[in-house]
Protein backbone atom coordinates (compact mmCIF):
# COMPACT_ATOMS: atom_id res chain seq x y z
CA UNK A 1 0.00 0.00 0.00
CA UNK A 2 1.45 3.35 -1.03
CA UNK A 3 2.29 5.79 1.73
CA UNK A 4 1.52 9.43 1.02
CA UNK A 5 4.46 11.65 1.85
CA UNK A 6 3.66 14.90 3.65
CA UNK A 7 3.72 18.03 1.55
CA UNK A 8 6.92 20.06 2.05
CA UNK A 9 6.47 23.06 4.32
CA UNK A 10 8.75 25.95 3.41
CA UNK A 11 6.68 28.72 4.96
CA UNK A 12 8.74 31.89 5.18
CA UNK A 13 11.90 30.26 3.85
CA UNK A 14 13.97 32.35 1.44
CA UNK A 15 14.96 30.47 -1.70
CA UNK A 16 17.09 31.72 -4.59
CA UNK A 17 16.69 29.95 -7.94
CA UNK A 18 19.59 30.46 -10.36
CA UNK A 19 18.30 28.32 -13.22
CA UNK A 20 17.68 29.71 -16.72
CA UNK A 21 14.16 30.46 -17.87
CA UNK A 22 11.62 28.94 -18.30
CA UNK A 23 12.83 26.30 -15.84
CA UNK A 24 13.46 28.93 -13.15
CA UNK A 25 9.87 30.18 -13.05
CA UNK A 26 8.49 26.65 -13.10
CA UNK A 27 10.63 25.61 -10.12
CA UNK A 28 9.92 28.88 -8.31
CA UNK A 29 6.20 28.21 -8.64
CA UNK A 30 6.65 24.84 -6.95
CA UNK A 31 8.59 26.45 -4.10
CA UNK A 32 5.92 29.12 -3.66
CA UNK A 33 3.26 26.42 -3.50
CA UNK A 34 5.17 25.07 -0.49
CA UNK A 35 5.06 28.51 1.16
CA UNK A 36 8.55 29.75 0.32
CA UNK A 37 9.60 33.31 -0.45
CA UNK A 38 11.39 32.93 -3.77
CA UNK A 39 13.67 35.11 -5.87
CA UNK A 40 14.82 34.23 -9.37
CA UNK A 41 18.32 35.21 -10.52
CA UNK A 42 19.17 33.28 -13.69
CA UNK A 43 22.97 33.39 -13.82
CA UNK A 44 23.04 31.45 -17.05
CA UNK A 45 21.02 32.07 -20.19
CA UNK A 46 20.82 30.36 -23.56
CA UNK A 47 20.50 31.65 -27.09
CA UNK A 48 19.83 29.42 -30.11
CA UNK A 49 22.57 29.58 -32.72
CA UNK A 50 21.57 30.71 -36.21
CA UNK A 51 21.10 27.99 -38.79
CA UNK A 52 24.00 27.38 -41.16
CA UNK A 53 24.17 25.44 -44.45
CA UNK A 54 26.47 22.94 -42.73
CA UNK A 55 23.96 22.30 -39.96
CA UNK A 56 21.12 21.93 -42.43
CA UNK A 57 23.16 19.35 -44.36
CA UNK A 58 23.82 17.48 -41.14
CA UNK A 59 20.13 17.40 -40.20
CA UNK A 60 19.27 16.14 -43.69
CA UNK A 61 21.70 13.25 -43.18
CA UNK A 62 20.13 12.26 -39.85
CA UNK A 63 19.38 8.75 -41.08
CA UNK A 64 23.11 8.04 -41.36
CA UNK A 65 23.49 8.07 -37.57
CA UNK A 66 23.07 5.02 -35.37
CA UNK A 67 22.84 6.99 -32.12
CA UNK A 68 21.61 10.51 -31.32
CA UNK A 69 22.29 12.00 -27.88
CA UNK A 70 20.72 15.17 -26.48
CA UNK A 71 22.54 16.57 -23.46
CA UNK A 72 19.69 18.72 -22.12
CA UNK A 73 15.96 19.38 -22.58
CA UNK A 74 16.84 22.62 -24.38
CA UNK A 75 19.13 20.78 -26.81
CA UNK A 76 16.43 18.16 -27.40
CA UNK A 77 13.76 20.78 -28.17
CA UNK A 78 15.98 22.69 -30.60
CA UNK A 79 17.06 19.51 -32.37
CA UNK A 80 13.52 18.21 -32.75
CA UNK A 81 12.32 21.58 -34.05
CA UNK A 82 14.87 21.34 -36.84
CA UNK A 83 14.09 17.69 -37.52
CA UNK A 84 10.40 18.60 -37.84
CA UNK A 85 11.33 21.29 -40.36
CA UNK A 86 13.30 19.03 -42.69
CA UNK A 87 11.90 15.54 -42.12
CA UNK A 88 8.20 14.72 -42.69
CA UNK A 89 8.80 11.71 -40.45
CA UNK A 90 11.66 11.02 -38.04
CA UNK A 91 13.95 8.36 -39.56
CA UNK A 92 13.58 4.87 -38.16
CA UNK A 93 16.32 2.70 -36.69
CA UNK A 94 18.07 5.39 -34.65
CA UNK A 95 18.76 4.94 -30.95
CA UNK A 96 17.90 8.16 -29.12
CA UNK A 97 19.34 9.11 -25.72
CA UNK A 98 18.63 11.73 -23.09
CA UNK A 99 21.05 12.69 -20.33
CA UNK A 100 18.45 12.44 -17.59
CA UNK A 101 14.69 12.09 -17.27
CA UNK A 102 13.87 15.68 -18.29
CA UNK A 103 15.69 15.36 -21.61
CA UNK A 104 14.25 11.92 -22.25
CA UNK A 105 10.75 13.31 -21.61
CA UNK A 106 11.18 15.91 -24.37
CA UNK A 107 12.21 13.18 -26.81
CA UNK A 108 9.33 10.96 -25.73
CA UNK A 109 6.84 13.78 -26.41
CA UNK A 110 7.80 13.42 -30.08
CA UNK A 111 6.95 9.74 -30.12
CA UNK A 112 10.50 8.51 -29.61
CA UNK A 113 11.56 5.80 -27.20
CA UNK A 114 14.71 7.32 -25.71
CA UNK A 115 17.23 5.54 -23.57
CA UNK A 116 18.41 7.18 -20.38
CA UNK A 117 20.41 6.18 -17.31
CA UNK A 118 18.38 3.98 -14.95
CA UNK A 119 19.89 5.98 -12.10
CA UNK A 120 21.41 9.44 -12.20
CA UNK A 121 21.30 12.25 -14.72
CA UNK A 122 24.95 12.94 -15.51
CA UNK A 123 27.16 12.31 -18.53
CA UNK A 124 28.91 9.63 -16.50
CA UNK A 125 25.61 7.83 -15.88
CA UNK A 126 24.68 7.98 -19.55
CA UNK A 127 28.04 6.56 -20.61
CA UNK A 128 27.43 3.50 -18.42
CA UNK A 129 24.55 2.36 -20.67
CA UNK A 130 25.45 -0.97 -22.31
CA UNK A 131 24.34 0.23 -25.77
CA UNK A 132 27.10 2.87 -25.67
CA UNK A 133 29.90 0.53 -24.64
CA UNK A 134 31.07 -0.84 -27.99
CA UNK A 135 30.57 1.56 -30.89
CA UNK A 136 33.35 0.63 -33.28
CA UNK A 137 32.76 2.58 -36.48
CA UNK A 138 29.24 3.67 -35.52
CA UNK A 139 28.16 7.27 -36.08
CA UNK A 140 26.90 9.30 -33.13
CA UNK A 141 25.26 12.74 -33.28
CA UNK A 142 25.68 14.80 -30.11
CA UNK A 143 23.15 17.64 -29.74
CA UNK A 144 24.61 20.14 -27.28
CA UNK A 145 25.61 23.71 -26.58
CA UNK A 146 28.41 25.58 -28.29
CA UNK A 147 30.71 24.93 -25.32
CA UNK A 148 30.65 22.51 -22.42
CA UNK A 149 32.14 19.31 -21.10
CA UNK A 150 33.77 17.07 -23.68
CA UNK A 151 33.40 13.89 -21.65
CA UNK A 152 30.70 12.27 -23.80
CA UNK A 153 32.46 12.98 -27.09
CA UNK A 154 35.90 11.94 -25.87
CA UNK A 155 34.65 8.77 -24.18
CA UNK A 156 32.60 7.60 -27.15
CA UNK A 157 35.47 8.29 -29.54
CA UNK A 158 37.72 6.21 -27.30
CA UNK A 159 35.16 3.39 -27.72
CA UNK A 160 35.45 3.55 -31.50
CA UNK A 161 32.54 5.85 -32.34
CA UNK A 162 32.57 8.54 -35.00
CA UNK A 163 31.07 11.44 -33.06
CA UNK A 164 29.66 14.57 -34.69
CA UNK A 165 29.00 17.42 -32.22
CA UNK A 166 25.94 19.49 -33.16
CA UNK A 167 26.09 22.85 -31.35
CA UNK A 168 22.59 24.31 -31.21
CA UNK A 169 22.88 27.14 -28.67
CA UNK A 170 25.29 29.26 -26.73
CA UNK A 171 25.28 29.82 -22.98
CA UNK A 172 26.14 33.16 -21.41
CA UNK A 173 25.93 34.98 -18.11
CA UNK A 174 23.31 37.75 -18.08
CA UNK A 175 24.29 41.27 -17.04
CA UNK A 176 23.10 42.49 -13.64
CA UNK A 177 23.69 45.82 -11.95
CA UNK A 178 25.46 45.93 -8.58
CA UNK A 179 22.14 47.06 -7.09
CA UNK A 180 20.37 43.95 -8.41
CA UNK A 181 23.09 41.69 -7.01
CA UNK A 182 22.98 43.44 -3.63
CA UNK A 183 19.18 43.24 -3.43
CA UNK A 184 19.21 39.52 -4.18
CA UNK A 185 22.26 38.26 -2.32
CA UNK A 186 22.52 40.65 0.63
CA UNK A 187 19.08 42.15 1.29
CA UNK A 188 17.07 39.04 0.43
CA UNK A 189 19.80 36.82 1.96
CA UNK A 190 18.61 33.41 0.70
CA UNK A 191 18.70 30.39 2.99
CA UNK A 192 18.97 27.99 0.06
CA UNK A 193 20.35 28.47 -3.45
CA UNK A 194 19.51 26.28 -6.44
CA UNK A 195 22.54 25.89 -8.73
CA UNK A 196 22.16 23.00 -11.17
CA UNK A 197 25.39 23.07 -13.19
CA UNK A 198 29.06 23.79 -12.72
CA UNK A 199 28.88 26.73 -15.12
CA UNK A 200 25.95 28.19 -13.17
CA UNK A 201 28.00 27.92 -9.98
CA UNK A 202 30.98 29.66 -11.58
CA UNK A 203 28.77 32.48 -12.84
CA UNK A 204 27.19 32.94 -9.40
CA UNK A 205 30.64 33.15 -7.81
CA UNK A 206 31.77 35.71 -10.39
CA UNK A 207 28.65 37.86 -10.02
CA UNK A 208 28.88 37.86 -6.24
CA UNK A 209 32.62 38.57 -6.06
CA UNK A 210 32.20 42.28 -5.34
CA UNK A 211 29.31 42.01 -2.88
CA UNK A 212 29.50 41.53 0.88
CA UNK A 213 27.34 38.41 0.86
CA UNK A 214 27.61 35.47 3.21
CA UNK A 215 26.47 32.66 0.92
CA UNK A 216 29.10 30.10 1.80
CA UNK A 217 27.24 28.68 4.81
CA UNK A 218 23.86 28.52 3.00
CA UNK A 219 22.31 25.36 1.64
CA UNK A 220 23.46 24.92 -1.96
CA UNK A 221 21.57 22.50 -4.18
CA UNK A 222 23.87 21.04 -6.86
CA UNK A 223 23.29 18.32 -9.48
CA UNK A 224 26.19 15.92 -8.96
CA UNK A 225 29.26 15.00 -6.92
CA UNK A 226 31.51 16.80 -9.40
CA UNK A 227 29.74 20.13 -8.83
CA UNK A 228 29.54 19.52 -5.06
CA UNK A 229 33.32 19.15 -4.96
CA UNK A 230 33.69 22.26 -7.11
CA UNK A 231 31.49 24.14 -4.63
CA UNK A 232 33.49 22.94 -1.62
CA UNK A 233 36.72 24.02 -3.30
CA UNK A 234 35.17 27.48 -3.77
CA UNK A 235 34.35 27.69 -0.06
CA UNK A 236 30.71 26.56 0.12
CA UNK A 237 30.20 24.41 3.20
CA UNK A 238 26.76 22.91 2.54
CA UNK A 239 26.38 21.55 -1.00
CA UNK A 240 23.62 18.96 -1.30
CA UNK A 241 22.56 16.66 -4.16
CA UNK A 242 18.78 15.97 -4.39
CA UNK A 243 17.27 12.57 -5.08
CA UNK A 244 16.60 13.70 -8.65
CA UNK A 245 16.43 16.96 -10.58
CA UNK A 246 12.63 16.84 -10.78
CA UNK A 247 11.08 19.97 -9.30
CA UNK A 248 9.25 18.08 -6.55
CA UNK A 249 12.42 16.29 -5.45
CA UNK A 250 14.38 19.54 -5.33
CA UNK A 251 11.69 21.19 -3.20
CA UNK A 252 11.47 18.17 -0.89
CA UNK A 253 15.24 18.07 -0.44
CA UNK A 254 15.39 21.76 0.45
CA UNK A 255 12.56 21.35 2.97
CA UNK A 256 14.24 18.36 4.62
CA UNK A 257 17.66 19.96 4.74
CA UNK A 258 16.47 23.29 6.14
CA UNK A 259 14.31 21.58 8.76
CA UNK A 260 17.29 19.47 9.79
CA UNK A 261 19.51 22.51 10.14
CA UNK A 262 17.23 24.13 12.72
CA UNK A 263 16.15 21.00 14.55
CA UNK A 264 12.94 20.51 12.55
CA UNK A 265 11.22 23.56 13.98
CA UNK A 266 10.42 24.81 10.48
CA UNK A 267 11.67 28.30 11.39
CA UNK A 268 14.85 29.97 10.29
CA UNK A 269 17.40 30.64 12.97
**Of 171, 198, 221, at which residue does a domain stop?**
171
Q: What element of type H or E holds 45? A: strand 45-48
Q: Does 40 share its domain with 67?
A: no
Q: Does 66 share its domain with 157?
A: yes
Report if residue 4 sits inside a domain. no
Q: Does 162 share its domain with 252?
A: no
Report if residue 27 sits inside a domain. yes
pLDDT of the residue at 164: 94
pLDDT of the residue at 101: 83
Phi and psi at residue 101, in whole multiples of 5°? -65, -35
Quickly list H helices, the chain.
Answer: 23-33, 53-60, 73-86, 101-109, 123-127, 151-158, 178-181, 198-207, 225-234, 247-261
Report if residue 5 sits inside a domain. no
Q: In order along the chain (269 residues), what is the average pLDDT of each group of 10 residues?
A: 63 94 92 95 92 92 94 92 90 91 90 86 88 92 87 93 94 90 90 93 88 84 92 93 89 91 47
Domain count, the chain: 2
pLDDT of the residue at 3: 44
pLDDT of the residue at 263: 57
* CA dist., res. 35 & res. 159, Å (int): 49
Q: Does 111 share its domain with 126?
A: yes
Report if residue 56 sits inside a domain. yes
pLDDT of the residue at 267: 39
Looking at residue 53, which CATH number applies to its domain? 3.40.50.10090
pLDDT of the residue at 212: 67
* CA dist., res. 171 & res. 159, Å (int): 29
Q: Does 80 share its domain with 179?
A: no
pLDDT of the residue at 5: 58
Q: Does 31 share its domain with 142?
A: no
Burial (Cβ within 10 Å: 0-12, 13-18, ≥19) of residue 236 = buried
Structure letter (DSSP) for residue 115: B
Rama region for 12: left / alpha / beta (φ>0; ψ in -120 to 50; rest): left
pLDDT of the residue at 264: 44
CA distances from 21 to 40, 49, 105, 238 (A): 9, 17, 18, 25
User: 218 is in which domain, residue-wise?
Assistant: 14-44+174-261
pLDDT of the residue at 1: 35
What pTM was estimated for this model as a whole? 0.81
Amino acid sequence: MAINQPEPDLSGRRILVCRPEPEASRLAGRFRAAGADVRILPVIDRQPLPETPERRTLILSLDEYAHIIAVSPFAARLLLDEVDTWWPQIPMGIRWYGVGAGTAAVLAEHGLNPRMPPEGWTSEALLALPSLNNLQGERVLLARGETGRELIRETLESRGARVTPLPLYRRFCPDYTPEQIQATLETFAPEAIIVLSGETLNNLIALSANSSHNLYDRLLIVPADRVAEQAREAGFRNPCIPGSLADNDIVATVATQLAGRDGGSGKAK
